[in-house]
Amino acid sequence: MDHPDYARRRQTMVREQVASRGVDDERVLAALQQVPRERFVPEAARDAAYEEVSLRLEDGRLLAQAHVQAVALAALDLRGGENVLEIGTGCGYGSALLARLAAEVRTVEPDARLAEQAAARFALQGLRQVHVRHGEASAGWEEQGPYDAILVQPGIEASAQALREQLRVGGRLVMAQAGSPKVLELVRIRRVSELRFESEDLADLRLAPEVPAVPKRDRAASAMRRGGDSGEDAQARLAAAVGRAGEAFEQLEDADLEPLLRRVGRARVVLIGEATHGTSEFYRMRQRITRALIEKRGFDFVAVEGDWPDCARIDQYVRHAEEPASRWKAFARFPAWMWRNREVAGFVDWLREFNALQQPGLRTAFYGLDLYSLYGSIERVLEYLERVDPPTARLARQRYGCLSPWEDDPAGYARDTLTAGYRSCEAEVVAMLRELLHARSSYGGYDGERFLDALQNARLVANAERYYRTMYYGSRESWNLRDGHMFETLRTLLDFRGPQSRAVVWAHNSHVGDSAATEMALRGEFNLGRLCRKAFGAQAYAIGFGTHAGQVAAADSWGGDMQVMELRPSAAGSHERVFHDSGVPGLLLPLRALPADPDLAGLRESRLQRAVGVLYRPRTEMASHYFESVLPQQYDEYIWFDRSHAVTALDSLSLEGLPETYPFGV
C-alpha cells in the first residue's frame, strides 16, 4: 500500500517540479504520479526521494531529479502500445515509468549486479512488461526490435549510430548525455526512412544539487564528529546571518540609500544590474540609486545595455537638444518592453526635468552600449556624412552597400558568409571606421557630440559585422566580442567626458558582475564587469539583484510576444534560496567588506544563481537560467527582493527582431 506521506509528496513533486516547468504531457505526469519513487532508492535516500535534488545511489550512479526524467520521457512522444528499449536500467525507476507509457519495455544494463537487482525489484512490484538484460549499452537488444522508441539514460555512454539502426521507421531515439558535470544535453534522433535519420538538439538540462544516499541521522552524526553542522543546519545559520548582516527594508521606497552611497565613495563607474530584463523592482531600485548618484554625487552620464541610436534619441530628449525629441520612437524592435516601459519612462522624464535646471554643458547624458543596431547605425553615419562631407558620404554608401542584402535578416549574413558564394564585408566596414578615425582632427574639434555619435556608430557597424559572423562559431567568441564592445564604448565615453567624469551603467547581472567569479570563466568568457574591475580596480562598484518568486515580463521564444509569467520559486541550493530563507522581504547586503561573522562563510561558496533575460523558459529553467557563481567575488553589493512584479510595458509596434545569440537572451 502506498504510504500517504509519500503519495502527498509525490503529488507535490509533480505539480511544483514538473508541471509548473512546462511539461504538459498528461501521460508522463500520470506515470510520475503512479510510480513510487521511494521504492527505487536505498532506504537511506528515501527522505530525499521527492526533493528537487539528484540522488547519488549506492552503486555510484546518479538518479536525476524528476523534471529531467520527465522532459526525456515527453520527448519520446509515447501514446501507448509501443515497444520501447531503455539503455541503462540503473535502479529501475526509469524502467517503471516507461512501463506506464508503453506496452513492452526492454532494458539493458551494463552492470550485472544492477541488472539482477532491477529484475528482482520488477518482479516484486509485478512489472511483467519490463524485461531486463545484462549487456553492452551500444549493442542494445537487436533481436527484440525494431523499437518505436529508445531512451538512453543519463550517465550511460552508448553509440547513437548503432542504436538508431534498431528503430523502426518513424521511431525516436532520445539520449540524455553529459555535456558537462552538471548539464545534460538532450538529443532526439528520428528514423524518417530506412536510410535517413534526422537529429535535433532539444534542450540542455541542468542537474539539481546532489544528495548522497546517506541517512540524515548519519550525516548529522558525521558532522558532529567533525565538530560541524549538518547541511541543513549550516544553510539555516547562513540564511539567518544574511538577514542580520543586510540592511533590511519592507518597501522599496523605504530603503535607506545613504549607507550605499558611502560605500560607493569615489568610484568612477557604478555598474547596476538586474536578475531579469522584466522585473519592476529591479528597474525602480536601480533608478532610485541612479537619481541619488546624479543628484548627490555628480555622476555625468548613464550608459545602458541598449542600442546606441535608440539611446541617442533619449539623450536628445533628456538634454533638451536642438533636434526634435520623440522619446518613444526608440526601442521599437524586439524586445521592446526591456526599455520601453513605464519604469524607464518615469526615469527619463525625471532626468529631463533635472537637466532643465542645469547649464547645457553640465547636463547628465544617456547613452547606449550595445551593438545590435547594425543598420540603424549605418543610417546615422550616412546622415552625418551627408551633412559635413558629401564626397565621403558617397564612399560610405558604397562600402556599406555590401551589407544591404541582409537588412531584413542580419543573422542571415552570418549564414551566407559561411558559404563559398559570399564574402564578408569586414574590409569595407573597417575601412569606413578608419576613414572616420583619420578625420577626427577635421570633424571632432568643432563638431564634438555629433562627431562622437557618428564615430561610435561606425565603430558599432564594424563590431556588429564581426559579431554576426562569429555567432555561428559558438557563443563564447560572440559573447566576448559583445561585452568587449560595451567596455570599449564605456571607455570612449569616459574619455570624451573628461578625466573627472563618472558613469552609471545599467545592464543585466550577467554583464555587470565579475565573470571571473562565475562558470563563464571556465568557458573562456569575460564580461563588462570583469573588464571594468581590471581597468578601474576599486573605482568600479558592481551591484547585483535577486528575487525568489513573483511575476516577470518575458517571451518564451525569440521574437515572441511579451507575457507576464509566473517566476518559479528559486531552486534549492541557490544563492536566492539562501536569501529567501532569511525571511527578509528586502535588503541591501554589502559584499565588498562582509561583517566578520563566521556564519557568513558559506556565502563565499560557489552556488547556483538565476539569470532570466528577455526569454524565460520554466520547462528548462535549471539549464537555461542557472549558473554557478561566488557572490562576494562577483559583486560589491547585492540587493534582494523576496517577491517581485513584472514591468509595465508601453504600447508599441514590435518590429521583427534579431535571433537569440546566448542561452538565456541577456
Distances (CA, A) of 402 to 355, 397, 399, 493: 41, 9, 6, 29
Helix runs in 130-230, H state only = 160-164, 216-225
- pLDDT at position 57: 74
Over residues 118-177, the pLDDT tens digits come to 999 999 989 999 999 999 999 999 999 999 999 999 888 899 999 999 999 999 999 987
Nearest to 294, CA basis, from 275, 273, 311, 319: 319
Distance CA 124, CA 317 (A): 75
Least confident range from 20-34, 171-185, 203-217, 399-413: namely: 203-217
Instruction: Say how many C-beta atoms besides its own lie within 10 A of residue 42's C-beta.
Output: 14
- Residue (of 438, 452, 454) closest to 387 by Cα position: 454
**Predicted pLDDT at 211:** 60
Q: Please indicate whether residue 452 or residue 204 has the higher confidence score (pLDDT).
A: 452
How far apart are the C-alpha atoms of 598 and 126, rounded to whole Å? 53
Backbone φ, ψ for residue 407 (5° rounding): -60, -35
Q: Among 92, 104, 130, 100, which Cα is nearest to 31's? A: 100
* pLDDT, position 3: 65
Share of the chain above pLDDT 70, in %: 81
610-653 tens-digit pLDDT: 999 998 988 768 767 888 899 999 999 999 999 999 999 987 54
Please check the confidence at residue 491 and state whether its pLDDT lies above 80: yes
Calculate mean pLDDT across residues 537-563.
93
- At what angle are helices 448-470 and 374-388 packed, to 10 degrees? 150
CA distances from 327 to 321, 561, 562, 655 (A): 12, 23, 21, 17
pLDDT digits (tens, 9 = 90+) for 367-408: 998 877 766 777 777 777 777 777 777 777 777 777 666 666
Cell numbers describing residue 652:
508599441
The predicted-structure confidence for 412-466, as pLDDT tens digits, reads as follows 665 565 454 455 676 777 677 677 666 655 665 556 677 777 777 777 777 777 7
